[in-house]
Amino acid sequence: MTYVFCYMISELRFSRWITPLALFFSVGTAAADAFAEKVVPLLNQHCYRCHGEKRQKGGIELHQVKSQEDAYRYHRFLKNVAQQIKTGEMPPEDDVDELPTSAERALMVAEIEKVMAHLKKGDFPRNPGRPTIRRLNRNEYNNTVRDMFGIGFLPANEFPADGAGGEGFDNVGDALFVPPVLMEKYLSAAKKIVDSIYATPVLKKRVIFRLPKDKEDPLVAAKIVLTSHASLAFRRRLTETDIEHLLGLYALGIKRGDSAEEAYRAPLRALLIHPAFLFRTENDEPGKKDWQLDSFELATRLSYFLWASMPDRQLFQLASQGKLSDPAILDAQVLRMLNDKRSDTLARHFAGQWLGFEELREVANPDIKRFPTFTESLRVSMYRESVEFFDYVQKNNRPITDLIDSDYTFVNEELARHYGIPGIVGSQMRIVKLTDKQRGGVIGHASILTATSLPLRTSPVKRGKWILDTLLGTPPPPPPPDAGELPADDKTPDGLSFRQQLELHRQKPNCAGCHEKIDPLGFGLENFDAIGRWRTTDANGQKVDSEATLPGDIVFSTPAELKKLLKEGNELFCKNFCRKLLAYALGRPLEYYDEPVIEDLYQLLVKNQFQIRPVIVAVVKSHPFQSRSAER
Same structural domain for residues 267 and 178? yes
Same structural domain for residues 139 and 96? no
Residue 468 gets which letter from DSSP?
I
Same structural domain for residues 102 and 163? no
Same structural domain for residues 423 and 462? yes
- Please list the alpha-helical segments (H only) found in 159-273: 180-199, 201-207, 218-234, 240-255, 265-272
Q: Judge whether 306 lies within some domain.
A: no
Same structural domain for residues 353 and 378? yes
Per the CB < 8 A criterion, the answer to whether 390 and 403 are in contact is: yes
Q: Judge whether 263 lies within some domain.
A: yes
Last residue of a domain, one of 95, 120, 145: 120
Residue 63 structural domain: 31-120
Helices 102-121 and 595-607: angle between axes, nearest 10 degrees: 70
Same structural domain for residues 274 and 373? no
Q: What pLDDT does 484 receive?
A: 65
Q: What pLDDT does 355 receive?
A: 98
Same structural domain for residues 458 and 520? yes
Q: What pLDDT does 96 receive?
A: 59
By CB atoms closer than 10 A (0-12, 13-18, 19+), residue 135 is buried
Per residue in 464-489, pLDDT tens? 999 999 999 998 877 766 666 777 88
Q: Judge whether 507 lies within some domain.
A: yes
Range scoring the smallest mean pLDDT among 113-117, 138-142, 222-226: 113-117
Per the CB < 8 A criterion, the answer to whether 155 and 142 are in contact is: yes
Per residue in 185-206, pLDDT tens? 999 999 999 999 999 999 999 9
Cα 495 to Cα 259: distance, rounded to the nearest angstrom? 77
Q: Judge whether 622 lies within some domain.
A: no
Same structural domain for residues 257 and 382? no
Cα 39 to Cα 16: distance, rounded to the nearest angstrom? 31
Last residue of a domain, one of 56, 86, 120: 120
Q: Which of 430, 445, 405, 460 is nearest to 610 (CA)?
A: 405
Strand ranges in 73-150 using DSSP code E only, listed in sequence order: 134-135
Per residue in 512-537, pLDDT tens? 667 778 889 999 999 999 999 999 99
Last residue of a domain, one of 248, 265, 280: 280
Cα 619 to Cα 586: distance, rounded to the nearest angstrom? 9
Q: What pLDDT does 176 receive?
A: 94
Cα 334 to Cα 318: distance, rounded to the nearest angstrom? 13
Same structural domain for residues 370 and 225? no
Q: Please tell me the total count of domains within the chain.
A: 3
- What burial letters (b/e) apply to 476-489, b meaning 16+ CB within 10 Å? beebbeeeeebeee
Strand ranges in 412-488 using DSSP code E only, listed in sequence order: 430-433
Q: Judge whether 187 lies within some domain.
A: yes
Q: What pLDDT does 481 receive?
A: 67
Same structural domain for residues 537 and 423? yes
Cα 271 to Cα 228: distance, rounded to the nearest angstrom? 12
Cα 347 to Cα 289: distance, rounded to the nearest angstrom? 35
Per residue in 597-621, pLDDT tens? 999 999 999 999 999 999 999 999 9
Same structural domain for residues 475 and 561? yes
Same structural domain for residues 175 and 111? no
Cα 236 to Cα 591: distance, rounded to the nearest angstrom? 29
Q: Judge whether 225 lies within some domain.
A: yes
Name residue 85's amino acid: I
Q: Which of 193, 205, 200, 195 is nearest to 233 (CA)?
A: 193
Q: What pLDDT does 21 receive?
A: 31
Q: Judge whether 607 lies within some domain.
A: no
Q: Judge whether 618 lies within some domain.
A: no
